[in-house]
Structures are given as structure tokens and as C-alpha cells.
Amino acid sequence: MSSLPRQALRPNNFTAGPAGPVASAPPRPAFYLTMVFVFVVYARFPEIMDMVTGSTVHSVRIIVGLALLATVLFGGDSRAVFSKVGICLMAFTLWMCLCVPFSVWRGGSFRMLRDTWVMALFAFVIIASAVQGLEQCRRIMYTLAAATIFIEIITFFMGRIQGGRMALLGGTLGNANYLALMLLMGLPFCLFVLRTKPGVSALKIACAPMLFCVPVTVAATGSRGGMVTLVVMFLLYFLPLPPSQKLVSAIAALILAVVAIAWSTQSALDRFRTILTTSAPVHLSVSEQSAIESAELRKELLYSSLQLTLRHPLFGVGPGMFAVANASFVQEATGRPNWNAWHETHNTFTQLSCEDGLPGVFLYGLALLFCFRIVRSAEKRARPYPALAVVRHMAFALRLALVAFTGTALFASNAYMYYFPMLAGLCVAVERATAAQVALQMAAVSAEPAMPASGGQGFRGVPAGNTRRR
């Protein structure tokens, strides 16, 4: 990628016109605030500062407010909100509002909607509206890579083994499954930096070890969903490689697997072993038995979420209210309370179906499907134009990040968090920027002078009279 012309790396720095390429206006304040917002939110910076200082600062709300205000005042493209993805997310939000009055605990559902989902929706609006052009999309992806590096460094210095699993001592990253999710979603952007950033830079140097450190940390978390997702992501990366690179990648993966096994605790390895084990419980270690009990509990929760979906197929039990409804459901069915019922569904899609009804999971799933279609379409449209090679790398990174979210969503309850809306906003921004650049490329091709039919210069500058008949 370092050999690509500057227009390939900064394809929004020109506009169509008779004078040819001209420099565009510098990024507006909304974009710079969006970069700060993306880093602060994705890196969980406020939570980490709370752990370090022992105080609570609502910095995310402040940055969200400033970013939204700057987007409105300094030329954010509000049309992005009305894209297919935006319409699905807005419709999902309206449907959640309709579900709140039918919730088993209306106050809890209202707080979930206000404090969690609205912030996630703002992340979509800010990124989709404020990020304009491929150059700004590239910078946002670099910001996500920097946030991933920050998480990995913080985990290295502040991470602790709890119950045999690597995690931080508090906050979102105190959950080993969420830590694995954040690292896996950010890993493709580190690869994007290595593929697209020209020359040598601190960010590029820092991204290189992430390709090894992140998988090792994910293995140390003992997250079975994270490990399965990591394998799928590696296969998606490995299969398109040319044969000459597949051998090197396979050897590197084998070395990495050995290092991950050596770095992980026995408890984490036992959890991974239970993914495929068929041994009787009496032949398992204590940690393996604990992992199997955890898997059985998740199956029970999955079954309960499906039953609640059938009981409340339209409006669900209320946003964020599965644990409350499930506890009542289990007590009603068994005649006694069960503390194991007070858990999340551990599956994002059944969480949506039982809490927001079938219309809710349909709208959310449709938005996710549109995002996959966007990255596929962007890659296909940019393929004929060498100057847009960076778009193919963007599409590949976004596809892997969406796979990371989808894979881990099958094992965790992430429906109302900002993870997917943030990726969705970036997908919309890339779609809009790609469409503009493809239009410019097509206009440039159509503006080239036509070749003369006879006389003058023949094909590729060869005089017509010098061609020989064969």
C-alpha cells in the first residue's frame, strides 16, 4: 500500500472540475470531536479513569453532547441517518419505546432505554453524520486501532487473573467475555493500519505486535465464544491469501497457538476443552466441571428466553428485563425461587426477541444484514479502480469487525451496547464516501478523449499506418 499514489490514500482530497484535483477543505470541528468520542468510548477510558482515581466523571456524556452539537452546527450530513441502516435503527428505537409500557418493570426499561441505548444510538448518528470522505473514514479506523492498543496495554499492566480468567478489576472490561469482544472487534483495524498506513510511524509499529498479543489475551480470558470467533476470523483472513502466503500464515498461527497455550491458565484451557469434550463429568477436572455447569446454565437461559419469546412475541417482557421476567417465570414453574435465573440471556438475538418481541429482533437483524451488504457492495464497486484500493481494505476490516461482533453476540448479551451502532455508523460513512469516489472515477474515465477511428494514433499511441494485418 505504500506504493499507492496519494490519491488512493487520500481520495477525498479532490473534487471533479475542469482544473483537476484540488485540495478539499480541512476537517470540521465535528470530525475532531468524533475522533475523541470514538477513542474515549471504545477504549472505555472513563471506566479506567474511575478505577484509577476512584471518582466518577461523566465524560462520555459531555463528549457526546459536544460532538452532537458540533455535528449540527458545522455541517454534519443528516442524510446518513436516513440510510437503510439508520432507518432500521430508528425504527428499532421507536419500537423499544412502544415496548416500555408493556414491560414487567417499566422504570427499569425506561432507564435502559435512556442511559444505554440512546447513548449507543448517538454513537451511530455522530459517526454516520460527521465522518465524510474516505480520508476521514481512514482516520476513524486508525482511531479504533489506537483504542484497541490502549485496551491491550491497560490489560497487560492492570489485568488480573480472576477465577482463572484474565480481566480488569472493574467496569465493562472486568467481564472477561466483554474484554475478548473489544479486542476482537478492534483487531481488524490494527491489520488495516499495517496494510494502508505508508512509511513508518508509531501507530504502525504499535499495531504490529497486536496481531500476536490480542489472540494471546483472548485465549487468556477463557472466553469460549471469543475463541470460536477468533478461529472464524482467522479462516476468513487465511482462505483468500495466495498460496505463497498461506504457508507463512499457517506457521505463524501454529507458533501463536503454542504461545497462547503457554500463557493461558489451566482453568482457561479447561474451558476451551469443554467446547468439544464428550467425557463423563467424573473424568473432568474441577475447572472443567465448572465450565460444563456454566454451559448448562446458558442452555437453560437460552431455553427460557425462547419460552418468554413465545409468551410475549409482540412487545416482549421489556428492554433489559429478561432477568426479572425469567426469575418470575422460573419461580412460577418450579414453585420456588432460583438465583441462577437472575442472569442475562447470554445471546444477543434471543435477548432481543424476548425483551423487544419479534419485531425488535427483526429490525436489529435487518440493520446488521444491511451493514454486511454495505461492505460487500463497497468492495465490489471499488474493485475496478486501482486508485480506490484502500476501500477494499476498509471493507475487509469492517467485515471482520462485524463478524467479531456477530460471533460474540451469540454468547453474550450486547443488544443495547454501543458496539454495533458504532460499526454501523462507520459502514454508512464508508458507503457514502465510496459512492462519491466511484462517481468521480467514472467521470474521470468518461472525460478521457476518445481514440480516433482512423489515421493519427492507433491503439496505445501506435500510428495507425504502422499496424500490420495478421
Q: Per-domain residue ranges for the chain?
A: 32-261+346-442
pLDDT tens over the chain, length 470 residues:
333 333 333 333 333 333 333 334 456 777 888 898 899 889 988 777 767 665 555 566 676 777 777 776 666 677 778 899 999 999 999 999 999 999 999 999 999 999 899 989 989 998 999 898 999 999 999 999 999 999 999 999 989 888 888 998 888 888 999 999 999 999 999 999 999 998 899 999 999 999 999 999 999 999 989 999 999 999 999 999 998 899 999 999 999 999 998 888 888 888 888 777 645 555 666 666 777 777 788 888 899 999 999 999 999 999 999 999 999 888 887 777 777 778 889 899 999 999 999 999 999 999 999 999 999 999 999 999 988 999 999 999 999 999 999 999 998 899 999 999 999 999 999 999 999 999 888 888 777 665 555 444 443 444 444 444 43
Query: Which positions ≥6 away from 434 have C-beta within 8 Å?
Result: 134, 378, 381, 382, 388, 391
Return the pLDDT at 408.
93
Record the pTM.
0.86
Q: What is the pLDDT of residue 449?
A: 65
Confidence at residue 27, expressed as pLDDT on a 0 to 100 scale: 67
pLDDT at 12: 39
Closest CA to 319 of 300, 341, 344, 340: 344
From 12, 7, 150, 19, select the one nearest 433 (Cα to Cα).
12
Partnered with residue 463 across adjacent β-strands are 457
Which helix (H) or strand (E) element contains residue 166? Answer: strand 165-167
Cα angle, residue 426 at apex, residues 74 and 140 outer, rounded to 5° = 70
